[in-house]
């Protein structure tokens, strides 16, 4: 009877009608990143979902204060920093609460926490990139044939020789190389689209500003 944990998505509810894809894409990536980050910091499932919800709500609120004229860099980059800082704060706060309730494992983690702010940020960055990558994979997966995708995974990810892969899959060596390079190029573009896309930025801003 294991079910999905309770999920709270006030954001989507609030943005239900008039939000563009960009904002919900942002949420899709960050939701998982923050959740996994929280889990890695020792929070239990339910607490991690709580934190995720809180962070996203806080990010959304903070996003209202974005001022495009300022020198804060790109909107997405700024959003990332906001999300990261809030997430790190909330996770520490939540761990502290849990420690007060007597969970020794969390207490141990808590003891390590304040010493490692840079590490926290790095971990958050890794979770973020991982989810961004997964998100991008989901978006582009359908554009490629099964053999191309396998060629890509076996070479670029597993590091196997294209010649061996070609033999195993029964395709030409050239097409294995082609799949590997094309998919990596495609992935990079998809990720870049998320990271730095003016249209996406204006969609997100529009979504945030058009709320009640």
Partner 1 sequence: MNKPNQQCFDDIQFNRFLDNQTDANEEIRVLDHIATCKQCQSALERIAGHQEVWSEIKLHLAGNKSDVPGHETQEHIELQDRRRDLKKIEQLLGPTDNPEMLGRIGSYEVSGMIGRGSAGVVVKALDTRLNRFVAIKLLAPVYSTNGSSRRRFEREGRAIASVKDPNVIPVHTVGEFLGTPYIVMQYVPDGSLQQRIEKLGPLETSEVVCVGMQVARGLAAAHKRGIVHRDVKPANVLLESGVDCAMVTDFGLARVVDEATMTRSGAISGTPQYMSPEQAKGESVDPRSDLFSLGSVMFAACTGHSPFRAESVFGVIKRVCDSEPRPIREVNPDIPQWLSAFISKLHSKRVEDRFESADEVANLLSQELAHLQAPTMVSQSARDWWKQPLPPIKVNTKPAVKPREVYRHQRAIQRVVLAAAGIALGVLVLSGISRFDFSGSSETPVPLASVEGPNQWDSLLALTKQENENLPQFKNSVETTIDVKSGGLLLLQTNLGALDVVTHDKPTVEMKLVHTVSASDQETANRLFQATEIKFELGSDDPRGTNLAKGKDAVIVATFPTRKLTQKEIEESYDLEELKEQLLIRYNSHFRNAEFELRIPRKFSLNLETSAGPILLSNIDGSAKCITRGGHIETGSITGKADLVTEGGHISTGDLGAPAILRTKGGHITTGRVQGELVAKTHGGNIHAEDVSGLVDVETNGGEIELGHMSAAVKARSLGGGIRIWKADGSVQADAPAGSIDVNFTHQPSGETKLNSSAGSIRIGYVDGLSLDIHASSAIGRIAAPFVENKGGKTLHYEMNGGQAKLTATAATGDVRFHAIEPSELDAEYEEMLNDIRGQRAFQLAYDTHMSGRIDRAMELHKLAAEFEYYKGIATYNLGCAWALKGNKENAFAALNDAITFGFDDVGQFQSDKDLDSLRQDERFHEIIARLTQTAGLEAKSKK
Binding site for partner 1 (CB under 8 A): 1-10, 12-14, 16, 24, 27-28, 31-32, 36, 39-40, 44-46, 50, 53-54, 57, 96-97, 99-101, 129-130, 133-134, 137-138, 153, 156-159, 162, 172-175, 177-178, 180-182, 184-188, 191
Nearer to partner 1, 21 or 117 (CB): 21
Instruction: Give the closest residue to 6 by CA, choosing from 42, 35, 41.
Output: 35
Nearer to partner 1, 72 or 181 (CB): 181
Q: What is the DSSP letter of 212?
A: -
To the nearest whole angstrom, how small is the minimum distance from the Cβ of residue 109 to partner 1?
Answer: 14
Could you tell me the CA-to-CA distances from 59 to 30, 63, 84, 177, 200 in Å, in that order?
Answer: 10, 6, 9, 41, 17
Nearer to partner 1, 4 or 170 (CB): 4
To the nearest whole angstrom, how small is the minimum distance from the Cβ of residue 189 to partner 1?
Answer: 9
To the nearest whole angstrom, how small is the minimum distance from the Cβ of residue 67 to partner 1?
Answer: 26
Nearer to partner 1, 69 or 132 (CB): 132
To the nearest whole angstrom, how small is the minimum distance from the Cβ of residue 5 to partner 1?
Answer: 7
Instruction: Give the closest residue to 197 by CA, choosing from 25, 1, 10, 3.
Output: 25
Rounded Cα distance between 113 and 119, Å, is: 9
DSSP per-residue codes, 148-176: HHHHHIIIIIT---HHHHHHHHTS-HHHH
């Amino acid at each position: 009877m294991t079910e999905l944990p309770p999920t709270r998505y006030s954001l989507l509810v609030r943005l239900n009608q008039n939000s563009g894809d960009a904002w919900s894409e942002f949420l899709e990536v960050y939701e998982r990143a923050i959740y996994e980050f929280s889990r890695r910091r020792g929070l239990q499932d339910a607490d991690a979902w709580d934190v995720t919800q809180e962070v996203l709500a806080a990010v959304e609120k903070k996003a209202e204060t974005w001022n495009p004229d300022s020198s804060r860099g790109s909107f997405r980059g700024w959003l990332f920093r906001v999300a990261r800082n809030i997430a790190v704060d909330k996770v520490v706060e939540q761990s502290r609460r849990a420690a007060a309730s007597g969970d020794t494992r969390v207490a141990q983690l808590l003891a390590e926490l304040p010493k490692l702010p840079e590490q926290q940020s790095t971990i958050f960055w890794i979770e973020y990139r991982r989810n961004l990558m997964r998100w991008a994979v989901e978006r582009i997966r359908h554009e490629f044939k099964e053999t191309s995708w396998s060629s890509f995974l076996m070479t670029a990810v597993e590091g196997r020789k294209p010649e061996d892969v070609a033999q195993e899959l029964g395709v030409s060596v050239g097409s294995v190389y082609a799949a590997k390079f094309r998919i990596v190029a495609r992935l990079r573009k998809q990720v870049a689209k998320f990271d730095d896309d003016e249209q996406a930025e204006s969609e997100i801003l529009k979504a945030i500003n058009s709320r009640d």
